Structure 1
Amino acid sequence: MNEKLNHEATESSTKRMIKNMGDIEQKILIVDDEKANRKVLKELLQDQATIIFAKNGEQAIELAKKHVPDLMLLDVIMPDKSGFEVIEEIKNDPVTMAVSVIFITGLANSDDEERGFDLGGCDYIYKPFKANIVIARVLMHLELIYQRKMLDSIAHIDALTGISNRRKMDAVLVDEVAANKRDKKQLLVAIIDVDFFKQYNDNYGHGAGDIALKKVAATFREVLKRPRDFAARYGGEEFVMILPDSNLDGAKLVMNNLMQALADKAIIHEHSQVSRYLTMSIGAVLIDGEQSTSPEQVIGIADRLLYQAKRQGRNQIVVETFFKTQAAV
Structure 2
Amino acid sequence: MERILEDWLLHANRRPKILIADDQPSNIRVLYELFSAQCDIFMASNGEQALQLCQAELPDLILLDVVMEDIDGHEVCRRLKADPLTSTIPIIFITAQNQAADEVIALGLGAVDFIVKPINSVIVRARVRTHLTLKLQGDLLRASAFLDGLTGVGNRRKFDDDLLTNWRQCLRDKTPISLILLDIDYFKHYNDRYGHQSGDSCLKLVAKTIAESLRRPHDKVARYGGEEFACILPKTKREDAVRIAEAMLGRIRALDIEHRGSDVDHVVTSSAGVATLLPTLSSTPEVLLTAADVQLYEAKRGGRARVCATREE
- TM-score range for the pair, normalised by the shorter chain length: 0.7 to 0.9
Partner amino acid for 1:267?
I
- Give me the whole-angstrom Cα distance separating, in 2, the residues matched to 1:321 and 1:125: 56
- Work out which of the residue numbers 212, 223, 226 in structure 2 matches 1:233: 223
Relative to structure 1, is the Cα distance of residues 105 and 182 closer, same or farther in structure 2, using a 3 angstrom cutoff?
Answer: same
2:118 is the alignment partner of 1:131: no
Structure 2 vs 1, CA of residues 254 and 20 (structure 1 numbering), >3 Å: closer, same or farther? closer
- Residue 232 of structure 1: SS of its match in structure 2? strand
Give yes or no for contact 1:94–1:175 (8 Å, CA) kept in 2: no
Report SS of the residue matched to 2:114: strand
> What is the CA distance between 1:70 and its match in structure 2?
0.8
The answer to whether the aligner puts 1:54 opposite 2:43 as a matched pair is yes
User: Could you say which residue in structure 1 is the equivalent of 2:159?
Assistant: 169
Match of 1:267 among 249, 257, 266: 257
Q: CA deviation at 1:316?
A: 0.8
Q: How far apart are 1:208 and its partner, in Å?
A: 2.5
Of 61, 81, 91, the match for 1:71: 61
> CA shift at 1:299, angstroms?
3.1
Which amino acid in 2 is paired with 1:255?
Answer: A
Tell me, yes or no, if the aligned pair for 1:56 and 1:80 is still in contact at 8 Å.
Answer: no
Between the aligned partners of 1:201 and 1:313, the Cα distance in structure 2 is 20
Deviation at 1:232, TM superposition (A): 0.7
Structure 1, 107-116 or 236-245: larger mean CA deviation = 107-116
* Residue of structure 1 equivalent to 2:193: 203
Letter in 2 for 1:127: K
CA contact (8 A) 1:103 1:125 kept: yes
Q: C-alpha offsets along residues 191-213 of structure 1, whole Å, 9 cap, x if unaligned?
A: 21011222323333323322221
Deviation at 1:126, TM superposition (A): 1.6
Q: In the TM superposition, what are the counterparts of 1:68-147 in structure 2 within 5 Å? A: 68-78=58-68, 82-84=72-74, 86-87=76-77, 90=80, 96-109=86-99, 113=103, 116-117=106-107, 120-147=110-137
- Partner SS state of residue 108, structure 1: coil
Q: Which amino acid aligns with 2:226?
A: G
Cα distance between partner residues in 1 of 2:207 and 2:289: 20
Point out where structure 2 has 5 or more consecutive residues left out of the alignment: none
Stretch deviating more after TM superposition (87-96 or 138-147): 87-96
CA change 1:180–1:88 in 2 (3 A) is farther
Detail structure 1 runs of 4+ shifted over 6 Å in the superposition. 17-22
CA distance in structure 2 between the aligned counterparts of 1:256 and 1:141, rounded to whole angstroms = 44
Name the residue aligned to 2:10.
Answer: 23
Please say if residues 242 and 274 of structure 2, whose CA atoms lie closer than 8 Å, have aligned partners that are also in contact: no
Q: Is the 8 A contact 2:238 2:275 kept in 1?
A: no
Partner Cα distance (2:31, 2:282) in 1: 45
Shift of 1:130: 2.4
Give the aligned residue type for 1:224. Answer: L
Shift of 1:170: 2.5
Displacement of 1:152? 1.0
1: CA distance, partners of 2:33 / 2:160: 41
Matched, 1:277 2:277: no
For the aligned residue pairs, the C-alpha RMSD in angstroms reads 3.4
Matching residue within 232, 255, 264 for 1:242: 232
The answer to whether 1:309 aligns with 2:299 is yes
Structure 1 stretch 231-240 or stretch 178-187: which is displaced more?
178-187
Check conservation: 1:76, 1:103, Cα contact below 8 A.
Answer: yes
Q: TM-score normalized by structure 2?
A: 0.80
Alpha-carbon distance change, 33 to 225 in structure 1, aligned in 2, over 3 angstroms: farther
Contact 1:61 1:86 in 2 (8 A): yes
Q: TM-score w.r.t. structure 1 length?
A: 0.77
Structure 1 residue matching 2:10: 3-state secondary structure: coil
- Matching residue's letter, 1:31: A
Assess if the C-alpha contact under 8 Å between 1:305 and 1:319 holds in 2: yes
Aligned length: 309
Query: Offset at 1:187?
Result: 2.8
Q: For residues 171 and 215 of structure 1, what CA distance do their matches in structure 2 show?
A: 24
- Structure 1, unaligned runs of 5 or more: 1-10, 324-329
